[in-house]
Structure 1
């Protein structure tokens, strides 16, 4: 029987329905099943997920096996556990909410056989007719230069650069860190646009943008490790960040005016804060249906986002002892 030559690594955490769809998409690969294996690394270490993997493997004939993390460590650690357990020279990474298209693996394998060391595929994210602010932000994944949702590496490359940095313990910037380590090692990265995965957008609660602000702390860690590449390749959104700081400072000025009974300072501080909040709110409502739900969500997120963004940026700077912009 032919031995597998490529291993697909899928980190997962409490999303069994999405994981099943991902595995069923891998069942549709044109590459013969005996030439690839699938390793599902469960950050939740749930018996139900192990049973799901075994069930799909039995039904489809996929060479799929389960690894459970003893404690939740994040996708970087899960991917490391997966590729280190692999028995093949080539490693493919995707996520449990992605749907690899039928030619995904075969296209990449052709490039590997021609000598490629690292390949990045193409991500498609079908958008709804009226995408929310969160949808638009998430859809930036389509144009990202290097994402682990669609990535192929020779195992030797991962061994050379040390794999993923497990200090990135949520799904944010761990792919950029690996990207920058590969660049520093002078290992060529090739684009493989015919290796396609579909990443369906999932509905998100109105507060999702507020929850996502915590990701800003990891920008400090990425900057500390790779300052030159961070400045060169990570979008700064400089003026948006300046507006966030200005919003926080102006509100503080307004309260200082109240404490000192200085009406002029009160007026300046609160007026500037209100204007900045209204501008942000109008941006959140752009191309959205105007109704009570969208207005409420835009108002609440516009009020809270500047403060959460500044907090997590400063938290990261102090945690990793680095000042970054």
Structure 2
């Protein structure tokens, strides 16, 4: 393995979105050698996209749409580095994102999580979108309060515990990490930072959160047999936590703008809660099952 990259990064795209180029560039711009592969599904031409941008990156194209688990598994199969990280096409890797991960992996960590930054920290709608989705992954949170996602893995784990479930519309990473012993749960290091491109339109934010809630409700209906009212209450209850987490997880002007966005947060949480109740009752496609 001398001279070979220690970390593979799988950049996941759906229908070859234009922002995929920026995601790949953010990985290329890390200050260490990396094994990079794009897995794009659902159509589009990711190869032409990166070629036109002058990027020399391997691309795996799949015509049918894959859930994230399927895309992850293709990326694992297409790479060889001893550690594997994943980056969604609507995200950016911050400087030292890869280096800090490798630091922990070299120290023996099997899994390393990442904190999330807001792409538009001075836009109130984007702040609200960020808090609704990532309030428990803010960089200032202590380890005991942080949700540990955005994980990189020691490749040996996939031999020991299997791959990601390709049938799951969401939660494939939760499912995989539930198989791991407690000692292998992800390290929380706020220096491993990912930027998420958050919605800046109020209408699109509400619609997006409704869709997210509906997918979650359908998932809970299938996996846990949830009744509609329970996920609604569970999600909407987060309005009590969001300001506390924002105060603890953010600082300076980021915290100020986050607090100003709270009325929008509550609206978005209601939309997500409503979607979860409908998903729990009818499933994601709107039909009784």
Secondary structure at the counterpart of residue 202 of structure 1: coil
> Counterparts in 2 of 1:11-26, with a 5 A limit?
11-26=12-27
Equivalent residues, number: 241
Structure number with higher relative contact order (C-alpha < 8 Å, ≥ 6 residues apart): 2
TM-score under structure 1 normalisation?
A: 0.64
Structure 1 position 129, deviation (Å)? 4.3
Match for residue 77 of structure 1 among 51, 55, 70: 70
1:36 has 2:30 as partner: no
Q: Which residue of 1 aligns with 2:121?
A: 127
Q: Which residue of 1 aligns with 2:153?
A: 153
Structure 1 position 183, deviation (Å)? 4.2
Q: Which residue of 1 aligns with 2:257?
A: none
Q: Which residue of 2 aligns with 1:196?
A: 193
Secondary structure at the counterpart of residue 39 of structure 2: strand
Q: Which runs of 5+ in 1 are unaligned?
A: 228-234, 242-284, 289-297, 318-325
Task: Tell me the alpha carbon deviations over residues 189-244 of structure 1, each in whole angstroms, 9 at most, x when there is no partner.
Answer: 222322211113123524333322321111244548xx9xxxxxxx9844848xxx
TM-score under structure 2 normalisation?
A: 0.71
Q: Which runs of 5+ in 2 are unaligned?
A: 139-145, 238-260, 285-289
1:310 has 2:286 as partner: no
**Cα pair distance change 1:308/1:239, threshold 3 Å:** closer
> Counterparts in 2 of 1:1-325, with a 5 A limit?
2-31=3-32, 35-46=33-44, 48-56=45-53, 59=54, 64-125=57-118, 126-131=120-125, 134-140=129-135, 142-143=137-138, 145-147=147-149, 150-169=150-169, 172-183=170-181, 187-204=184-201, 205=204, 206-215=206-215, 216-223=217-224, 237-238=233-234, 240=236, 287=263, 308-315=275-282
CA distance in structure 1 between the aligned counterparts of 2:116 and 2:11, rounded to whole angstroms: 16
Task: Tell me the alpha carbon deviations over residues 137-177 of structure 1, each in whole angstroms, 9 at most, x when there is no partner.
Answer: 23436345122xx32101111232222111212xx322222
Higher helix residue share: 1
CA distance in structure 1 between the aligned counterparts of 2:20 and 2:113, rounded to whole angstroms: 22
CA distance in structure 2 between the aligned counterparts of 1:81 and 1:209, rounded to whole angstroms: 28
Is the contact between residue 42 and residue 49 of structure 1 (CA under 8 Å) also seen in structure 2? yes
User: Aligned-residue CA RMSD in angstroms?
Assistant: 3.3
**Cα pair distance change 1:154/1:128, threshold 3 Å:** same
Secondary structure at the counterpart of residue 8 of structure 1: strand
**Cα pair distance change 1:195/1:307, threshold 3 Å:** closer
Structure 1 position 43, deviation (Å)? 1.2
Is the contact between residue 41 and residue 67 of structure 1 (CA under 8 Å) also seen in structure 2? yes
**Cα pair distance change 1:236/1:158, threshold 3 Å:** farther
Structure 1 position 99, deviation (Å)? 1.1
